[in-house]
Structure 1
Amino acid sequence: MTPTPERHHVVIIGAGFGGLGAGIKLAAKGIDDFVLLDRGDEVGGTWRENTYPGVEADIPAVHYSYGHLPNAKWSSAFAPGSELFAYARDIADRFELRPKIRFGTEVVSAAYDEATREWTVTAEDGTQFVSRFVISCHGALSIPSRPDIPGLDDFEGKMMATQRWDHSYSVAGKRVAVIGTGASALQVIPTIAPETAHLTVYQRTPIWVMPKVNFAVPGALQKVFETLPLSQKIVRNIVSSTTAAAETVAVTHNKRLPFVTKGVAQLATAFLKSQVKDPALREKLTPTYGFGCKRPSMSNTYFSTFERDNVTLETTGIERITSKGIRTVDGNEVELDTIILATGFKIFGLSYRIAGVDGVDLESQWDEQRLASYEGVAVPGFPNFFLAPGPYGVIGFSWFDTIDICVSHAVDMIAQADADGVTRIEADSAATAKFVKKMRKRVENTVFMSPSCNNSNTYYLNKHGDAPYLRPETIVEAKFAMRSAAKGYVRA
């Protein structure tokens, strides 16, 4: 017997910072009939899933929080993952969101019914949720990217991804390999290297790394932030303005100001030289592409780790993974006890099937026709459905900038539809085409489209040659655009 679907006005998919933010904003608008669905057993999203050794934010903590809900207790300039996870739990408690969350609910599909103008969201166990509106906060970086390497299932030792770290397993005294040199690897490698018998790092593409100015936040300063919230807001605004200016100059307007990223690259090269004395090793760690083509990374210990006697940097391509270890294309095989996959995420990969009007599958549409959305939030043919974020929806350096803009817009559209008494609101095709054309034109001036990125293997560029991840505007520009974005919808 099929259980009766649970009915709500709004379904929110994901209880990370995006989903929690959506719940807070819906309640603030007086919309209380909503539910949050999450596959995990706790809130926090990324910071619940990623608990690997050394995990911490790469955005200053003072800026990595909801603007209206600052946390005065960050222990360091760049907060460790455990504190970010605790912050998410505190937000869920403070706004009494837990009764509205259905944990252990893995969403497998969402389908739109044109007759009823409702969405049916189905979980892995068959449970269904029917709602007028859906806000998908599953995250732009939520699906681990499984590397296309032959033999992944043949390895007889311990294999785990950084996003699924097994804390019951110790790497102490083990022969360990890390595949990948991205943001997660940058933190894992220096942390575990001293424990291992030997650590081999398999690098396809070297990364640009700058020093990380991290420091403990004195208790006295925490007290000031707690007593005088305005002081923390001032610091946050300074950090926000600085990072926004850096992004605008170095990334968004790179074509006009290429000397900026070239200058930063020189500083990064000098930092590498100060950290690694061996010229051959230093050459392997030096990128052959321009600074900014990949997400900027910071670490004070990453480079120096490769000078340890028990660490090897392997730049020869992997042929396959064997039952005993990893064999490279030159025929050399390294026997291993542990393989750690630090191979990142699928950008805008959808964790469940989304079927809109006439059953059109969103992922297939994007795959065939290129990623597109209206204002980084809505897609024509998918009424009453909002992404937080969608293509060209990630703005600024802090994820909370994106959450604020995308979720606020989605909630405003729902509230407006309710006030107007309409049951269907959909992004207009012409308005979407105009927005996407504008974004793609702006992307042409970014660093991602410069010849210097040709050898970067950057996830910012997809198979269509597009860079649909970032919205190439300043936060001010994006917020201003959202003021009139409601005009781009068809209502019925």
Structure 2
Amino acid sequence: MVDKEVVIVGAGFSGIGLGIQLRKAGITDFTILEAADDIGGVWHHNRYPGVAVDIPSTTYSYSYEPNPSWSRLFAPGDELAAYAKRCAAKYGVTNHVRLHTRVEAAEYDADQHHWSVRTSGGSLTARFLISAVGPLDQPKYPDIPGLGTFAGPTVHTARWDPTVDLRGKRVAVIGSGATALQLIPEIAPEVARLSAFQRTPIWVIPKPNTTIAPPMRRLFERVPVTQRVLRMATSLLAELVMTAGIAYHMRVPLFVRSVEKLCLWHLEQQVADPETRERLTPKYGLGCKRPSFSNTYLRTFNRDNVDLITDRIVRIVHEGIVTARTDNASGEVTETLHEVEILLLATGFKTMQLGVVPPFPLHGTDGIEVGQWWDEHKYQNYEGISSPLAPNFWLMNGPWAAAGASWFSVIESGSRHIVRCLDEARRRRATQMVVRQEPHDAYMRSMHKKVRHTSFAQPSCSQANSYYFDRHGEAPFVRPISGPALELASRTFDLDHYRYDQAPLPGSQK
């Protein structure tokens, strides 16, 4: 006997969405283990000023649970956190969640066909184990000498400290990705001086972030089809930018160049100083690094109290940040101390690396630790969700999984894949299922073929410092297909690509 038929790790939108689909399928013997003190995942942890979704909220939501109450087209973070709680409660998932429970390791028992899961609150066994920990879970701290020597408060945006008062202070922000794009324009008006340290500029697309007026919200509530039509429109827009710009980059060069020209025009309209514009201009192609939408980030650099610093950071000291600049003619290096009182790290998250994917030690077939094996042999995952190394295990948000206009495309497709598998295991009375090596390898061959047409095949990506890439120089974060193709695959993959077994009865011989 096992403690639970299904154990899910993570109570963000992935874990909640999977829990909803399990209940719809009549699978109720499951628990969701969550390390934090509340559900919501990235939207529970990220509470920095200006935090918001970076694609339209009508698209960034469950397709079966539209929210007519979004205040803006790109909703702020607190509304996303509230939406997660509301969905979990409405569909009966909340009572399945066990908070303050961090998974420390999991080991597969090949004889009994179950997982032994060790947590901060004790151990339990599960027939099936699913990691639904999102890719933006573990904050990435910059590898800068002296980081711990800074005298003032140091805050990572993913673990925001609301007690730190920025008003009238000299503040430094390290990072220039999607988080900095939201944070910098929000705090610039209240600080005495803001020093923005940029290693790599970001492609910034104009943001149609309109307020959704109360009459429109009432219309969405009373005539739901109107919101579904808007969802179709925003999904198409996001699909064009994210999928065409990244997954089909080489196949639609005219579209990609058009988006780049739009971004460059936007930059010219927003930033007055030509030299600053030049430093904010990406030197890599669209899609190497995730682009984002904003109407406020670029023009913040017109402010008198905002400095854009692109010299390389050499160390952090008690008083602030030391940068260096090399004279091209003489080779002479000049160092500058930037004195600041508060240090904000908008440096993103660890993604495709050991200890993150999977997010805990996972010992599968023959005791192989999956994360270590992937780190040594490159990341690979059938349909972006399962591995021959780990029976009875699925990894949502894993290697070769992210596709489509919204992360909810990945969540719903991954949930559909898993529920189909569990239903088939039940139908066959199987206690173990594992993807076969041959279809797994065929899938990976198709991924490596498709990636040749993506933005990641551009030589300029070497300048992007993108979290899409792993230490092998590959980009396993993204599955290079469209959202509709992702959905179709989750509905039609061959269930015989898995092998099904039954555990021996107690007392029987193998």
Q: Give the C-alpha shift of residue 391 in structure 1.
A: 1.0
Q: Give the C-alpha shift of residue 234 in structure 1.
A: 2.1
Residue 308 of structure 1 corresponds to: 303
Q: Does 1:484 align with 2:493?
A: yes
Matches of 1:179 and 1:366, distance apart in 2: 30
Structure 2: runs of 5 or more not aligned = 325-333, 502-510
**Deviations, residues 218-264 of structure 1 (Å, cap 9, x unaligned):** 21111111112222122212322343344443322222332321222
Q: Does 1:262 align with 2:271?
A: no
Q: Give the C-alpha shift of residue 33 in structure 1.
A: 0.5
Matches of 1:83 and 1:478, distance apart in 2: 27
Residue 342 of structure 2 corresponds to: 338
Q: Give the C-alpha shift of residue 338 in structure 1.
A: 0.9
Matches of 2:392 and 2:483, distance apart in 1: 25
Q: Give the C-alpha shift of residue 96 in structure 1.
A: 2.3
1:97 to 93, 98, 101: 93
Residue 206 of structure 1 corresponds to: 201
Matches of 2:240 and 2:338, distance apart in 1: 46
Residue 428 of structure 1 corresponds to: 436
Counterpart code for 1:323: H
Residue 407 of structure 1 corresponds to: 415
Matches of 1:320 and 1:276, distance apart in 2: 29
Residue 239 of structure 1 corresponds to: 234
- Quick check: 7-16 or 262-271, which moved more? 262-271
2:136 to 113, 134, 141: 141
Cα gap change, 1:151 to 1:485, in 2 (>3 Å) = farther
Matches of 2:286 and 2:237, distance apart in 1: 18
Q: Does 1:272 align with 2:276?
A: no
Q: Give the C-alpha shift of residue 452 in structure 1.
A: 3.2
| Contact 1:394–1:402 under 8 Å retained in 2 | yes
Residue 31 of structure 1 corresponds to: 27
2:293 to 298, 304, 312: 298
| Contact 1:11–1:129 under 8 Å retained in 2 | no
Counterparts of residues 25-104 of structure 1 (less than 5 Å): 25-104=21-100
| Contact 2:50–2:182 under 8 Å retained in 1 | yes
Residue 150 of structure 2 corresponds to: 155
**Deviations, residues 415-468 of structure 1 (Å, cap 9, x unaligned):** 210221011111111111110110111011111111232311122222212111
Q: Does 1:392 align with 2:400?
A: yes
| Contact 1:6–1:128 under 8 Å retained in 2 | no
**Deviations, residues 177-221 of structure 1 (Å, cap 9, x unaligned):** 110000001000010111111111111011111211111112111
Give the root-mean-square deviation of aligned CA atoms. Answer: 1.5
Matches of 1:230 and 1:111, distance apart in 2: 47
| Contact 1:262–1:290 under 8 Å retained in 2 | no
Cα gap change, 1:443 to 1:65, in 2 (>3 Å) = same
Counterpart code for 2:345: L
- Report SS of the residue matched to 2:183: helix
2:217 to 217, 222, 226: 222
| Contact 1:175–1:198 under 8 Å retained in 2 | yes
- Report SS of the residue matched to 1:395: coil
Counterpart code for 2:404: G
- Report SS of the residue matched to 1:234: helix
Percent of pairs with identical residues: 41
User: What is the aligned residue count?
Assistant: 487
Cα gap change, 1:198 to 1:434, in 2 (>3 Å) = same
